[in-house]
Amino acid sequence: MREDAEGNAGDSDFEDFYAIIPAGGTGTRLWPLSRMDKPKFLYDLLGSGRTLLQSTYDRLSALAGGSHVAVSTGWRHMQAVRSQLAGLEERNVFVEPVPRDSTAAIALATAVLAKRYGDEIVVGSFAADHVIRDDEGFRESVRQAVAAARAGYVTTIGIAASRPSTAFGYIRQGRSLASEIPDAPRARLAESFVEKPDSSTAQAYLATGKYRWNAGMFVMRADVLLGRLKEFKPAMYDAISRIADAYERADEWGRLQAIARDDASEGPDGAVDEAMARYWPGIEKIAFDYAVAEPLSAVGGVAMVPGDFGWDDIGDFNSVAALLASTGSGNMKILGNADMVESLDCAGDVVVPAAGRTIALLGVDDMVVVDTVDALLVAPRARSQEVKDLVSYLEQEGRADIL
């Protein structure tokens, strides 16, 4: 085991591994709890005492060490991220002036880390809002993914599908790569990535035994990712490279100042701000799956390692309910202070008392009730996925003040 400057121990199997946490999005299916200024990853949705972001950081720093963890986030969330992750090095927070989806976020962090530590480091991207229930199982899947990445594959972790969900994309697994990568005995070729299916298609996928959920976890060598980005998205590669050069100059200035003053001065970040303002807004907004994983899987460049560690991305209030203990005899799920909820002849409801006042329910079954200071949501649980559509409607109606 090794330790970083903060005393966070990293696993020796991950010496060359750097974890990137994209912390973006607004979690619109969890409105009105999740908002633009405070999205779901900044909340403790499980009552564990740690937010989703903090739990993700804890999990990854236990593998790699705190100094090997970076966060890509928007300017709206920068202060909250720094406040929640006191052990995160300031220079490992990459702040986006405008959202440009996962490809740009992952690529920028990768390009900067490669300049600092060498382009053969292994990087892994893990979203800030995922729930993992078996840390040891997660560690083993990531270990094998790192081994496959060292062999030159862009590697994804395919989640065991527990039900024919229509809320997730799927990965079709191909032949075993065990003989090629002895340190990753469960790795398989990823033949294709498929979009969220309808119910009958999802059931057909599960019946074949060849499909797993796509959780958007990707592990790869930095030089492999940047090389593929240059091939598939040359304009994005050029812009990211120019911004990474500015980060490198800022890093060098800080290093020289630390030597001269015997302190840890970071130096000015004006060059970084200027490069971000000049190049970032013009970068294509595209998900990593579309930009890299899908075209690369078509030519046999993507590996898949199974993930059987219990996973959820808390995509809607039904997902929240599945992770909460029941309250009372009616299988009620309450996120927050249960003393603020009174119910009579009710069953199967999901209730979030976040406004500091009592919620009283009578004869209400299988509903979602989310009470915040400035907005109240009441909807059938069966339509939890459609809360995103409601948010779009409110935006069209000019209600950005509550989004």
Q: What angle do CA 79, 81, 85 make, to 5 degrees?
A: 120
Q: Which of 106, 107, 75, 113 is nearest to 92 (CA)?
A: 113
**Token representation of residue 330:** 């009616």
Strand runs labelled E in 237-384: 302-307, 311-312, 326-327, 332-334, 341-344, 350-353, 359-362, 367-371, 376-380
How many CA atoms lie less than 13 Å away from 156 in the CB half-sphere?
A: 29
- Report the SS3 class of residue 241: helix
Could you give all domains of the chain from N- to C-terminal order, each with its CATH number?
2-312 (3.90.550.10), 326-402 (no CATH)
- Report the SS3 class of residue 264: coil
User: Long-range contacts for 393-402 (Cβ within 8 Å, ≥24 apart)?
Assistant: 401/374, 402/32, 402/374, 402/375
pTM of the model: 0.89
Kindly give the confidence (pLDDT) of every residue in the chain, 403 residues in length, as a single tens digit, with 9 standing for 90 and above: 445 444 455 567 899 999 999 998 888 999 999 999 999 999 999 888 999 999 999 999 999 999 999 999 999 999 999 999 999 999 999 999 999 999 999 999 999 999 999 999 999 999 999 999 999 999 999 999 999 999 999 999 999 988 888 888 999 999 999 999 999 999 999 999 998 888 899 999 988 989 999 999 999 999 999 999 999 999 999 999 999 999 998 876 554 444 444 444 444 457 888 999 999 999 999 999 999 999 999 999 999 999 999 898 888 999 889 889 898 778 999 999 999 999 999 999 999 999 999 999 999 999 999 999 999 999 999 999 999 999 999 999 999 999 9
The secondary structure of the chain in percent helix, strand, coil, rounded to multiples of 5, reads: 45, 25, 35
Burial of residue 307, with CB atoms counted within 10 A of its CB: 0-12 exposed, 13-18 middle, 19 or more buried: buried
Strand runs labelled E in 60-99: 69-74, 93-96
Cα–Cα distance for residue pair 172/73, rounded to 1 Å: 30
**Token representation of residue 13:** 């199997």
- Report the SS3 class of residue 5: coil
